[in-house]
């Protein structure tokens, strides 16, 4: 407690209220008469003096008084930023996820297990997105690099499948070919398996798109007559490292027993035809189908080769692959 210029600043010795007391006044909070500093010091050093008559005077409190706990208050930050309500744009295979936004911090709760894309609309410097993997029901946080406090942030589950787009051109004119069915065949160690659910038909501009494709490596087949029927679903196509060599040898009638299981579509159609514009490479070590294709009249399917291998694509989750196909069947 301090004194100065007829005023005293401190805490009441009885109730602890912080006040400025004029002169020898009373506490405005509890009404008790306030002791002067000189009274406190004297009382502490010598004790109270007994009056001539009457009961003994009460002993004053010690010179230092414990301060009562005061409730803490936090004033609102007048300059606190505000955040706009988020309304994620609808996207295919993507659903909005509840989120809380702080200053540059994105907190996502109650997520199903998987990989999620956290994208900010502005970021300086560096990428504006990240891909955290989370366990089901966990709480995950991510901090996009240097995100401004008022930048909108979108959290969406990463797609578990991919997309294939492409075009089909005529071999002789390189003009788009419409109405051709394109179908995918999932590769394995011994060939591939046709999935009738993964197909599309080329548009008037020769373009096609197949979506919701599980990740993997696929051989691309096409049907010049249009969409393949459901009868090809689950069709096993033999493909291995000897396929290009065995196709060329079979064309010249010199295929050996070792080629069994290496010529695509042969196990389903013994009337295979080598398509026009096919090129067979001859070398001292033998022959090989460099480019061109096979056609199965029974199945109505074509399989093209490029650089000695069947035309294939790799599909990854959340991405789009592109392929260009040449229609080698001219009749």
Other Cβ atoms less than 10 A from the Cβ of 27: the count is 18
- Residue 135: per-residue pLDDT: 55
**In terms of C-beta distances under 8 Å and separation of at least 24 residues, what long-range contacts does 51-56 make, across chains too?**
none
- Residue 141: per-residue pLDDT: 54
d(CA 331, CA 112): 52
> Which has more confidence, 123 or 316?
316
> Which has more confidence, 180 or 97?
180
> Which has more confidence, 220 or 80?
220
User: What is the arithmetic mean of pLDDT over 192-212?
Assistant: 96
In tens, the pLDDT along 103-153 reads: 445 555 555 666 666 666 555 444 455 666 655 545 555 555 444 444 555
- Residue 202: per-residue pLDDT: 97
pLDDT bracket for residue 331 (50, 70, 90): confident
Q: Which residues contact 218 (CB under 8 A, 6 or more apart)?
A: 164, 184, 185, 186, 187, 192, 198, 312, 313, 314, 315
Q: Where do the domains of the chain lie, and which CATH numbers do they carry?
A: 14-46 (no CATH), 99-157 (no CATH), 162-327 (2.60.40.10)
Range scoring the smallest mean pLDDT among 41-55, 185-199, 287-301: 41-55
User: What is the arithmetic mean of pLDDT over 156-163?
Assistant: 81
Range scoring the smallest mean pLDDT among 50-59, 225-234, 287-296: 50-59
- Residue 122: per-residue pLDDT: 55
Per-residue pLDDT for 46 more than 60? Answer: no
Range scoring the smallest mean pLDDT among 159-163, 212-216, 324-328: 159-163
Mean pLDDT of the chain: 75
Overall pTM > 0.75? no
In tens, the pLDDT along 284-308 reads: 778 999 999 999 999 999 999 999 9
- Residue 116: per-residue pLDDT: 65
- Residue 14: per-residue pLDDT: 67
User: What is the arithmetic mean of pLDDT over 242-265?
Assistant: 91
């Amino acid at each position: 407690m301090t004194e100065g210029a007829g005023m005293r600043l401190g805490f009441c010795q009885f109730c602890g209220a912080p006040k400025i007391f004029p002169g020898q006044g009373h506490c405005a909070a509890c009404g008790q008469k306030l002791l002067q500093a000189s009274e406190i010091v004297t009382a502490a050093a010598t004790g109270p003096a007994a009056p001539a008559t009457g009961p003994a005077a009460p002993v004053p409190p010690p010179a230092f008084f414990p301060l009562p706990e005061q409730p803490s208050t936090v004033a609102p930050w007048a300059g606190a930023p505000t955040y706009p309500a988020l309304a994620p744009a609808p996207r295919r295979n993507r659903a909005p996820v509840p989120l809380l936004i702080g200053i540059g911090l994105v907190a996502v709760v109650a997520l199903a297990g998987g990989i999620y894309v956290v994208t900010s609309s502005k970021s300086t410097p560096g990428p504006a997105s990240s891909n955290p993997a989370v366990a089901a029901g966990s709480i995950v946080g991510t901090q996009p690099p240097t995100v401004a406090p008022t930048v909108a942030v979108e959290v969406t589950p990463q797609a578990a499948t991919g997309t294939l787009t492409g075009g089909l051109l005529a071999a002789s004119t390189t003009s788009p070919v419409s109405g051709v069915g394109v179908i995918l065949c999932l590769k394995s160690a011994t060939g591939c398996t046709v999935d009738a659910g993964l197909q599309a038909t080329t548009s008037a501009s020769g373009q096609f798109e197949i979506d919701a494709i599980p990740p993997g490596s696929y051989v691309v087949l096409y049907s010049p007559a249009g969409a393949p029927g459901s009868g090809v679903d689950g069709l096993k196509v033999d493909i291995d490292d000897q396929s290009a060599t065995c196709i060329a040898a079979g064309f010249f009638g010199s295929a050996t027993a070792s080629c069994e299981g290496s010529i695509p579509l042969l196990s389903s159609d013994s009337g295979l035809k080598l398509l026009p514009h096919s090129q067979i490479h001859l070398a001292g070590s033998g022959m090989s189908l460099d480019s061109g294709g096979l056609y199965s009249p029974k199945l109505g399917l074509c399989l093209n080769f490029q650089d000695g291998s069947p035309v294939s694509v790799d599909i990854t989750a959340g991405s789009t692959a592109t392929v260009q196909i040449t229609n080698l069947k001219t009749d």
